[in-house]
């Protein structure tokens, strides 16, 4: 079986991962400009080299209480349905390769609507990584809200 390259990032004390093919770039945190009448987890927009990019706060989206910005806070710019979207993460500094056999399906305890964007649980050495499919993170209405921000 093949290896999968993952970008590791932190939200609070937990490690998450996404397929490197979705990640366009990782930039230092920029303060987003607020956009009125958007869902709470949409922090606003940034101008990144002339391109307007909506910014999502993953901690708010995942109901993680710790919303402090850190020195290592980054914006991970990803391509989702050919649209660039930035995600605020506490740290994103590592790329690893793991074999497909090291990835298990999300356990049944992870139930409900949230399970749809967890593609699996990766085991790398002594680490457990929650592998996300961020293009499944938004409902149709939420994605439409992102479309109107530009």
Which architecture, in CATH terms, is 3-149? Answer: Beta Barrel (2.40)
pLDDT for 113: 42
pLDDT for 126: 85
Q: What predicted TM-score, i.e. pTM, was given to this entire model?
A: 0.87
pLDDT for 139: 66
pLDDT, tens digit, for every residue of 97-147?
Answer: 999 999 988 776 654 446 678 888 898 888 888 898 877 777 667 666 666
pLDDT for 143: 65
Q: Residue with structure tokens 């790398």?
A: 124
Q: In what order do the strands lie in the sheet with 51-57?
A: 23-28, 74-80, 83-89, 51-57, 42-48
So where are the chain's domains?
3-149
Task: Give the span between the Cα atoms of 38 and 57, in whole angstroms.
Answer: 12
């Amino acid at each position: 079986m093949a290896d999968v390259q993952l970008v590791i990032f932190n939200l609070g004390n937990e490690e998450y991962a996404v397929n490197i093919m979705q990640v366009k770039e990782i930039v230092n945190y920029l303060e987003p400009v607020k956009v009125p009448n958007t869902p709470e987890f949409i922090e606003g927009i940034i101008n990144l080299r002339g391109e307007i990019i909506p910014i999502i706060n993953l901690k708010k989206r995942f109901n993680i209480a710790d919303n402090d910005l850190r020195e290592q806070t980054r914006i991970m710019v990803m391509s989702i349905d050919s649209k660039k979207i930035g995600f605020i993460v506490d740290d994103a500094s590592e790329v690893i390769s793991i074999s497909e056999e090291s990835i298990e399906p999300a356990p049944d305890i992870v139930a409900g609507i949230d399970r749809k964007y967890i593609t699996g649980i990766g085991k790398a050495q002594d680490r457990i990584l929650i592998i996300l499919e961020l293009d499944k993170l938004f409902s149709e209405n939420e994605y439409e809200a992102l479309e109107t921000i530009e």
